[in-house]
Structure 1
Amino acid sequence: MLTIAKGANAALMFFLELGVLASVGYWGFTLAAGWPVKLLAGIGGPALFIAAWALFGAGGGANATFPLTGLARAALEILWFGGGALALYASGLVTWAGVFYGLFVLNAVLRLIWKQV
């Protein structure tokens, strides 16, 4: 049973990662600005997040160009997932922002307990 729970937690991490990209893209396209700015933010925002994750966090650091560990990895995750929650909040989806960040905290705690980090 624990193996299934650990697998579900790993899947949650993956879906949270995708959720960050969707949240940032949604935020960009909901800005009260002209279409050029919306396109830049809606496509450029997720592109910047993808670049940061690829450089520092991909595959738990194993596939990253510059893998982070320890407190640096924790800071990256807090900024990454916090950025997704802030994007939802800035888009006016306050409840969803709280749910998103709560799921991240739950996921992170379980990864620490189960040594999935």
Structure 2
Amino acid sequence: MLSLAKNVNLLVMFLLELGVLGSTAYWGFTVGSNWPLRLLLGLGAPALFVAVWAVFGAANGAMIPLTGFARVALEVLWFGGGAAALVMAGRVAPGVVFAAVYVVNAVLRLVWNQ
């Protein structure tokens, strides 16, 4: 049963990663004052997040894998950025829920040494 819970927690982590990309895209497409700016932000923000995650955060494929405090800082900025994007787009409740799910997920990953 614990093995199943650990696998579900890893699935939640993956879904949170996708959620960051979706929330930054949503923010970008809603924040701009004109269509070209919305398009640039809606596609550019997730692309920037993908680039940072690929370089520093991807589990086994990162070019410069981070550990310890640096990894914690990256995750807080990454997932916090996703939650903040929702809040800045006017979706406060989903942003708070997103942040809370991340905190629970991170605590469980720490406790279970994932």
TM over 0.5: yes
Which of 83, 87, 92 aligns to 1:85? It is 83
Q: Following superposition of structure 1 onto structure 2, how do residues 1-117 of structure 1 map, counting pairs within 5 Å?
A: 1-59=1-59, 62-116=60-114
Q: TM-score, normalised by structure 2?
A: 0.99
Residue 63 of structure 1, CA deviation:
1.1
Identical residues among aligned pairs (%): 59
Residue ranges of structure 2 left out of the alignment (5+ in a row): none
Number of equivalenced pairs: 114
Give, in whole Å, the separation in 2 of the partners of 1:114 and 1:108: 10
SS in 2 for 1:33: coil
Taking only aligned residues, the RMSD between alpha carbons, in angstroms, comes to 0.6
SS in 1 for 2:31: coil
Alpha-carbon displacement from aligned partner over 1:52-101 (angstroms, at most 9, x marks no partner): 00000002xx2100000000000000000000000000010000000000
Alpha-carbon displacement from aligned partner over 1:17-40 (angstroms, at most 9, x marks no partner): 000000000000001410110000
Q: TM-score, normalised by structure 1?
A: 0.96
Residue ranges of structure 1 left out of the alignment (5+ in a row): none
Give, in whole Å, the separation in 2 of the partners of 1:31 and 1:113: 38
Residue 114 of structure 1, CA deviation:
0.2
Give, in whole Å, the separation in 2 of the partners of 1:112 and 1:32: 38
